[in-house]
Amino acid sequence: MYAVFSANLAKELLTLTPKFVGLPLSKVPFSIKDKAIAELLGLLLASQAQDGELDFLEGQWVAIRVEDLGLHFEVSFNGHWLVRPLTDAQVTFSAPSSELVLVAAGKEDPDTLFFQRKLSIQGDTELGLEVKNLLLGVEFASLPTPLRLSVEKLASVIMHLQAKAKPTVVTVQPAGAYN
């Protein structure tokens, strides 16, 4: 009985937590979100920008849809990060927030998520692969310590909840089968 309750609670937390986070996030003006996203991308991909690895994004727009948070935006790079609301991106990545955190922490492979239909990539496949490979090349250990530790902790909690949420198999012995 406890295992079933625990599994149901874990499922509810995985489903409801992004909705609770998404509600106040939806009240934040896009002008503030775009500055935060640009700043975060600048921190995460500073060395790639410096090395010219982001040049392929010039004139290209990549959409990110985090449906369970209600967070949707497009990014491009032309020497600095450009962020705008969804309009007409060349490629769109869509995934639940929990899966994106696990990818960011290196706990989940984006290809696996794609084949499990937890990550969707639509549009320009070649551009999508370049973006995916760029992000996979980011050294997680090189992230600023507070950000890295936060992502690691959140990923750990998500993995724990996902493990708890998996259905447990209960074996029932037929009558008279007891020894």
Residues contacting residue 43 through CB under 8 Å, at least 6 positions apart: 143, 144, 147
pLDDT at res. 21: 87
What is the spatial distance between Cα 130 and Cα 106, in angstroms, rounded to a whole number? 18
What percentage of residues in the chain have a pLDDT greater than 70?
91
What is the spatial distance between Cα 161 and Cα 11, in angstroms, rounded to a whole number? 7
Q: Which of 128, 127, 71 is nearest to 95 (CA)?
A: 71
Q: Which pTM value belongs to this model?
A: 0.82
pLDDT in tens, 25-81: 999 999 999 999 999 899 889 889 999 999 999 999 999 999 999 999 999 999 999
Q: Which residue has the higher pLDDT, 120 or 8?
A: 120
Q: Are 128 and 120 in contact, with CB atoms under 8 Å apart?
A: no
What is the spatial distance between Cα 45 and Cα 143, in angstroms, rounded to a whole number? 9
pLDDT in tens, 126-157: 999 999 988 888 877 877 888 889 989 999 99
Please, which pLDDT band fits residue 173 given cuts at 50, 70 and 90? low
Structural domains in the chain? 2-165 (3.30.1050.10)
106 backbone φψ class: left, alpha, beta (φ>0; ψ -120 to 50): left
C-alpha 157, offset from chain centre: 14
